[in-house]
Amino acid sequence: MTLPDVALLNREQAILEFNKRVLAQAERSDVPLLERLRYICIVSSNLDEFFEVRFADMLDAARDPVNAVSSRDVERVARAAHDLIDEQYAIFNEQVMPALREERIVILNHADRNETQRHWVAKFFEREVRPLLVPVGLDPAHPFPQVANKSLHFIARLSGKDAFGRDNRIAIVKVPRVLPRVIKLPATVSEGQQAFVLLTSVIRAHLEELFPGRHVEAFSQFRVTRDSDLEVDEEEVANLRHALRSGLTTRHFGRAVRLEVVNTCPAELSNFLLEQFDMPAAALYHVNGPVNLVRLNELIDQCDAPELRFLPHEPVWPQGRLPRQKSIFHRLRKGDVLLHHPFESFEPVVQFLREAVEDPDVLAIKQTVYRTGSKSELMDLLIEAARRGKEVMVVVELKARFDEEANINWAERLEAVGAQVVYGIVGMKTHAKLLLVTRREVGKLGKPVLRRYAHLSTGNYNPKTARLYTDLGHLTADPELTADADLVFRELAALSKFKAPKRLLLAPFNMHSRMLEHLAQVARAARAGQPARVVVKINALTDAELIAGLIAAGQAGARIDLIVRGACMLPPGLPGQTDNILVRSVVGRFLEHTRICYFRWGVSEADEVLYLSSADWMSRNMFRRIEVAWPVLDPALRQRVIDEALMPYLHDRLDAWQLGPDGHSQRVAETGVSAQQALMRRYIAG
């Protein structure tokens, strides 16, 4: 495939552009007020990961003389990050906080607190905070302390000399993570409001008490973000699990990439911190408020104001297609079942595994685990299955970023009860979502036969995120599809030579090439004047060859709609080049996570295919991960995917953004239909 001559958009700036769309939710008057604050927190969390991973990688690439990333690219992305963070704090201070005050929800600074409130805060400081603080005055015997990734600290400049007559004027105070960052004042002192104080305000008000006999001349809270990507040479380590567990202890002290201080921090102190962390001036971020807005989730959780939150949404059980009282195995022998989360409950997936564990005729259970959480009923069920003597194989991805520790713990617990645990293939992450059950049954001639049942999904085996992310799950007893799933598990365990499955596409082997083949088929049909259509819904589009295939199909005359939640490097709407391609992004109540690929290259039913997939259209997913995609062959199920998971998003006007050729997005409209809201109403109505 010839790469496109169209200049692609910058990936890091595309990620920041996505976060601008998320931040825009905090400005919407039709979004409940506490949810607007939550979007601000989400952006902070996203930016933390951006600096820990993407920006850190970009800095490494800029140091490599053979890499295409230049220092100018880094500066441009850093400026965009600075602008986004400034906008985030402006929305927080000028829109959201004043609106909360109107609802009598307030954050009280020291100057805002009356004498009664100050007395309460002082007692709280003495009782809960001061015993855990250890101020460190810097001198040759007390060097600058180790500062962990994203941990909160204060820096202070002190007057006079210390108790030994020395002129050590700089001190550092570490704030333990165990302390709450948001404290709700009791009703007895809150004057009829819901009043909160931030831990930083509590410490700030009593900072001088930590340095008896000295005056705090200047101070600031600060926070450092570090490169947090775990790097382990899998070819060199004998035990990947042990190597990763060891790496977890050093992750918190990687290279510093961002320093946050409050905007009142004197230059003397910020420059001192930059020098200690060996960071350039561009890495300094002055913020007008708390240095970690993520922790304001604690305020949202403590607020007693249900009217300021989204109305509760309870996913429905698909009773008509999957009767709750009957065996799921029995139902799947009659046909496949599609689950659309979070509009439909994830509980049928849990029940599928629970039934397999409790059924004496089930002989074996195999499952992939990428992100499942530190607490998981699914993992508990797999442990119970092994205890009951069933053959249990679990492919645990130890390198699932920021979930490594939870996955290592699950792997050890599974091995302790005799489950077969494998860690996929060296150098690749296992990102496929598969659950396979093998059951002994009575065949047509009365003889015992083995029948397989499977669940394939676009999302993770995590019941918590299944309530927040849109995903599609596919329950099936189809012999070819389940045999393919079994083949994938065998290849992951035995590391045997790749044998192409009949129905599944498997990255890194044939998924990328098959997608390119379909794009070429669409292009040929367009040139021949036949119907030619592509609709792809994914989380990111960054692979240059797939982008080239899309551009070629569009230039041949095919109509192409891309629904890309996050980073998209394809610039749509360029006259004569990409003007047949529309790119939209939907940002609503739920995180869009479904991966769907639809291709049409003619007039017959054979000229159409729709895949569900675990993979985004990124080079890492296509070549450095184990991913699956599978065609939905049942006409009714395929039409349901189109009607529920594609068409509503192409017609969304309330939550949709359209990407321009310059990489910037514009909201499609301020009023109109929301795909997510329409789907919630549809499922609630039955």
Q: Kindly report, residue by residue over 268-293, the tens digit of the pLDDT.
A: 999 999 999 999 999 999 999 999 99
Percent of the chain scored above 70 by pLDDT? 93
User: 570, 562 in Cβ contact below 8 A?
Assistant: yes
Query: Can you tell me the mean pLDDT for 434-455?
Result: 93
Q: Which residues are annotated as a binding site for Mg(2+)?
A: 371, 401
pLDDT at 663: 96
The model's confidence at residue 71, banded by pLDDT at 50, 70 and 90, is: confident
pLDDT band at 68 (very low <50, low <70, confident <90, very high): low
Asked if residue 237 has pLDDT above 50, the reply is: no
Highest mean pLDDT among 163-177, 497-511, 527-541: 527-541
pLDDT of residue 633: 95
E strand or H helix at 370 = none
The pair of structure tokens assigned to 433 is: 């979502």
Q: What number is the average pLDDT over the span 4-14?
A: 90
Peptide bond into 463 cis (omega under 30): no
Encode pLDDT of 35-57 as tens digits.
999 999 999 999 999 999 888 88
Task: Judge whether 156 and 211 are in contact, CB under 8 Å.
Answer: yes
Question: Is the pLDDT score of 602 beyond 80?
Answer: yes
Q: Which residues contact 424 (CB under 8 A, 6 or more apart)?
A: 395, 397, 430, 492, 626
Give me the mean pLDDT over the 500-523 stretch: 96
Residue 493 has pLDDT above 50, yes or no: yes
pLDDT at 302 over 50: yes
**Region 359-381: what's the mean pLDDT?**
92
Q: What is the pLDDT of residue 236?
A: 45
Higher confidence at residue 213 or residue 539? 539
Sign of the alpha-carbon dihedral angle for 471, 476, 478, 481: positive
Provide φ and ψ at 573, rounded to 5°.
80, 15
Pick from 398, 366, 396: nearest CA to 382:
366
| Catalytic annotation, pick one of 431, 455, 474, 518 | 431
Annotated binding site: which residue ranges? 46, 371, 401, 469, 565, 593
Dist CA 455 CA 434 (whole Å): 6
Q: Where are the alpha helices (DSSP H) in 212-346?
A: 240-251, 267-277, 297-302, 328-332
Lowest mean pLDDT among 80-89, 157-166, 332-341: 157-166
Q: 56-60, 573-577, 620-624: which range is least confident on average?
A: 56-60
Intrachain domains 11-232+247-308 and 507-684 with the same fold? no
Query: Is residue 233 predicted with pLDDT exceeding 50?
Result: no
Residue 589, C-beta contacts closer than 8 angstroms, at least 6 positions apart:
35, 310, 313, 676, 677
pLDDT category at 238 given cuts 50, 70, 90 is very low
What pTM does this model have?
Answer: 0.93
% of the chain beyond a pLDDT of 90: 78
Q: Report which residue type is found at 459.
A: G
DSSP 438-487: EEEEE-TTS-EEEEEEEEEESS-S-TTGGGTEEEEEEEE--HHHHHHHHH
CATH class of 11-232+247-308: alpha beta
Q: Is 511 exposed, middle or buried (0-12, 13-18, 19+ CB in 10 A)?
A: buried
pLDDT at 164: 60
Residue ranges for the binding site for ATP?
46, 469, 565, 593
Spatial separation of the C-alpha atoms in residues 374 and 85, rounded to whole Å: 31
Q: Which CATH class is domain 328-503?
A: alpha beta
Angle among Cα 592, 593, 597 to the nearest 5 degrees reads 110
CB atoms within 10 A of CB 330: 11
Q: Which fold has domain 507-684?
A: Endonuclease; Chain A (3.30.870)
The mean predicted confidence, pLDDT, of the chain is 92
Q: Which two tokens stand for residue 103?
A: 């609802």
The one-letter code for the residue type at 178 is V
Is 431 in the active site?
A: yes
Look at residue 403 in the predicted model and tell me its pLDDT.
65
Quickly state the pLDDT bin for 375 (edges 50, 70, 90).
confident
pLDDT tens for each residue of 524-563: 999 999 999 999 999 999 999 999 999 999 999 999 999 9
Question: Strands 391-396 and 362-369, how do they pair?
Answer: parallel
Residue boundaries of the structural domains of the chain: 11-232+247-308, 328-503, 507-684
Which phi and psi (to 5°) does residue 381 adopt? -70, -40
Other CB atoms within a 10 A radius of the CB of residue 27 amount to: 13
